């Protein structure tokens, strides 16, 4: 395990090791299993960053559930005034009447989660909650605070375990924090 890494032009220092991450995941899996006993659950990991967290978490959730990976994309509307329009892509089943758990690697400003929730609401899910590995409370500006949080962190840039810096670092088993000189 490296104590420091360089990605592109920046140096990062070890912040949360693999063991700590797996402890957070075990805690979250336990909380989810207790909270959703006998409920019809669908996990919606938000790509790209959540792929590693989602994979590890869902293996620890010992019950039957659905999984559908989603992504928020933003495209230019076709009228001059519409600006950019958000779209939820990848959802290949209805969430109507189901208990939705949005899985995020990190909730930062909360904008992504707010978009996903607003796009899902037209399909009338039974409930929607957010489960995130990392949460930055001091950066959060959103309407939907995560109910399930692996670990709250300070408002500094982090990479690894799915999170990237210009697409580098996603494959790291640990989470690294930007080193300020």
Stretch that binds ligand PRP, among 18-26, 35-43, 102-110, 148-156 (CB under 6 A): 102-110
The C-alpha atoms of residue 134 and residue 157 are separated, in whole angstroms, by: 12
Task: Indicate if 108 belongs to the active site.
Answer: yes
Half-sphere exposure at residue 85, Cβ-oriented, CA atoms within 13 angstroms = 9
The C-alpha atoms of residue 96 and residue 66 are separated, in whole angstroms, by: 13
The C-alpha atoms of residue 156 and residue 127 are separated, in whole angstroms, by: 31
Catalytic residue among 26, 108, 114, 164: 108
The contact pattern for ligand PRP, residues 41-60, with x = CB under 6 A and - = no contact, is: -----x-xx-----------
Binding positions for ligand PRP, 105-124, rule CB under 6 A: 105-112
The C-alpha atoms of residue 33 and residue 62 are separated, in whole angstroms, by: 8
Report the residue number, 65 or 111, with the smaller CB distance to ligand PRP. Answer: 111
**Enzyme catalytic residues:** 108
Q: Which residues bind ligand PRP (CB under 6 A)?
A: 46, 48-49, 104-112, 164
């Amino acid at each position: 395990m490296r104590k420091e890494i360089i990605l592109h032009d920046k140096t990062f220092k070890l912040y949360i090791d693999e063991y700590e991450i797996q402890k957070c995941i075990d805690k979250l899996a336990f909380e989810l299993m207790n909270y959703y006993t006998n409920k019809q659950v669908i996990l919606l990991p938000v790509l790209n960053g959540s792929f590693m967290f989602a994979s590890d978490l869902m293996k620890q959730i010992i019950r039957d559930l659905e999984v559908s990976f989603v992504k928020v994309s933003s495209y230019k509307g076709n009228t001059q005034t519409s600006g950019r329009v958000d779209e939820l892509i990848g959802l290949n089943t209805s969430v109507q009447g189901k208990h939705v758990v949005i899985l995020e690697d990190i909730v930062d400003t909360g904008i992504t989660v707010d978009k996903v929730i607003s796009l899902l609401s037209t399909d009338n899910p039974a409930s929607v909650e957010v489960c995130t590995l990392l949460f930055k409370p001091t950066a959060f500006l959103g309407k939907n605070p995560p109910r399930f949080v692996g670990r709250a962190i300070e408002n500094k840039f982090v990479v690894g375990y799915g999170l990237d810096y210009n697409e580098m670092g996603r494959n790291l088993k640990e989470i690294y924090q930007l080193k300020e000189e």
